[in-house]
Amino acid sequence: MVAVGLPEPTRAAARRPRNVRGRRAAGRILPLVPALALLALFFLGPILWCVYASFTDVALTGATASTPHLVGLRNYRQMLHDPQFRQSLWLTVVFVLGSAVIGQNVGGMVLALLMKSRRRIARAVVGAIVVGAWVTPELVAGFVWYAFLSDDGTLNAILHAVGLHGKSWLYATPLLAVTLANIWRGTAFSMLVYSAALSNVPDDLLEAAAVDGASAFARLRHITLPLMRRAVMTNLMTITLQTLAVFTLIFVMTGGGPGTKTQTLPVYMYQSAFKFYQLGYGAALAIVLLAVGGVFSVVYLRMMREDV
């Protein structure tokens, strides 16, 4: 508006700063274009294809593999009448609550609190052991726990050596077995997050509370945990989303069995798509799993906002 009514050279001079800012913005965005293109190709692209496939009857083999047809909400209506889907959804919730929300979260907090007051050498040794489990590939961790809990595995060998009778742990308590394995593998992440958060809690505040007679539990409840609330919510959201996607660990240890006792949503999705060749139904299950993760994320984000 400033340049209206001015001679042409004056208007050109007024437009020049805007052009300079545009070129500078383009110069900043241009290096990001390859990364954005790769993100759209390998992240957004598969999600959009999955959404499309969930509304079709596309299969892995047969006529509908090459010429799928749109079937509307048929795959989603099928879920409502599918008892295996309801069981898989329930097992997924139990697995996430048991191994992530309770196991990894509480275990990581306890380890971080115990290591805070220990000597540097003890912290380094314990940290190396726990982090070693975390960096172990999921496939290897599954084999390790299968070898430990199988009928002729390490645990039964130890029990027999001391005169006790072992049992088929992967058959008698399959969900507990995969839950413990996931706790063992993922607790290190929570421990690292909480160790970093504990270093930001002022020691003088805790010492003042101790001088006033507050017990260790009272200091933890009224000082440490409130100051770590954002770290707790962030850690819960991260490990929940990680645990929702756990597939290899369960598949290697139990294959989703015995029967369907450890058939969580990722395992059921894989079996529907690649064992029973129903890619469309498997894609619909993937969208539901994505929605479950979104619900957990929204809940944690709202809990973090309440802290502001």
Return the domain boundaries, the chain: 75-304
pLDDT band at 184 (very low <50, low <70, confident <90, very high): very high
> Distance between terminal CA atoms of the chain?
41
Of the two residues 10 and 191, the one the predictor is more confident about is 191
Q: What is the pLDDT of residue 141?
A: 92
> What confidence tens digit (pLDDT) does each residue in 219-254 have?
888 888 888 888 999 999 999 999 999 999 999 999
pLDDT beyond 80 at 25: no
> What confidence tens digit (pLDDT) does each residue in 41-66 have?
888 888 899 999 999 998 888 777 77
Q: What is the pLDDT of residue 307?
A: 55
Q: What architecture does CATH give domain 75-304?
A: Orthogonal Bundle (1.10)
> What confidence tens digit (pLDDT) does each residue in 115-160 have?
877 777 777 777 777 888 888 899 999 999 999 999 888 999 999 9
> What confidence tens digit (pLDDT) does each residue in 193-218 have?
998 898 888 888 888 888 888 888 88
Task: State the Cα angle at 151 between 146 and 155, rounded to 5°.
Answer: 70
Q: What is the pLDDT of residue 148?
A: 93
In a 3-state reduction of DSSP, which class is residue 168?
A: coil
Task: Provide long-range contacts, Cβ within 8 A and 24+ apart, for 141-145.
Answer: 141/181, 141/184, 141/185, 141/249, 142/181, 142/248, 142/249, 142/250, 142/251, 142/252, 142/253, 143/252, 145/177, 145/178, 145/180, 145/181, 145/184, 145/249, 145/253
pLDDT beyond 50 at 1: no
